[in-house]
Amino acid sequence: MGPTDPAAEQVDPYEQQIENLRREKDEFFRTDLDSPIPPEKRSTFRGLNYYPPEKIYNVSARLERFDKPELILIQTSTGSRESYVKYGRLEFDLNGKRHRLIVYKSTEDPFARSLFIPFSDETSADETYGSGRYLDLEEQGGDSYELDFNLAYNPYCAYNDQYTCPIPPRENKLPVPILAGEKNYK
């Protein structure tokens, strides 16, 4: 056996992809004019806090689109309300239990293919941002989706109170801890 074991040095491609995305986001937050980090704090910004990537939090989900999407107003961090369409329901298994999350679409661009999934869980207000976190999906044909909680992110208001952020509705509170994605920003 040589000085290094090649098998021990192999990096999982999935974990590497998640780490690369996180490095890119940290660089954006540190340097971009559109960063939510206040300009006077960017020079000392050391990066966001994350849970280690875990494949168990990358789950297969089935989207059930609602026959009659409902227009709703979602409360925001500043007390205003934003208009969304309740588009459907994602169902998935995590740790041996069935869970559901409501999927929303913005009313600003009804033809956009972006699906918005604001959620909270048992880590909210403890290890993760108090109001909850977000996931985004690109709408596709069919009803099978990959829901990767390793990509869960904090709303911009977690970094700067100048932003207005939708607060995840109660119906999207998961009764389990989601130990994936972004943690509290310090």
Digit-by-digit pLDDT tens for the chain (186 residues) are 445 555 556 778 999 999 999 999 999 999 999 999 999 999 999 999 999 999 999 999 999 999 998 999 999 999 999 999 999 999 999 989 999 999 999 888 767 789 999 999 999 999 999 999 999 999 988 899 999 999 999 999 999 999 999 999 999 999 999 999 999 988
Contact 70, 85 (CB under 8 A): yes
Long-range CB contacts (< 8 A, 24+ apart) of 112-119? 113/138, 113/139, 113/140, 114/138, 114/139, 115/87, 115/139, 116/84, 116/166, 117/90, 117/147, 117/172, 118/74, 118/166, 118/167, 118/168, 118/169, 118/172, 119/152, 119/168, 119/172, 119/173, 119/174, 119/178
Kind and range of the H or E run holding 32 = none
Contact 48, 38 (CB under 8 A): no
CA–CA distance, 175 with 24 (Å, rounded to integer): 31
Domain ranges of the chain: 12-172
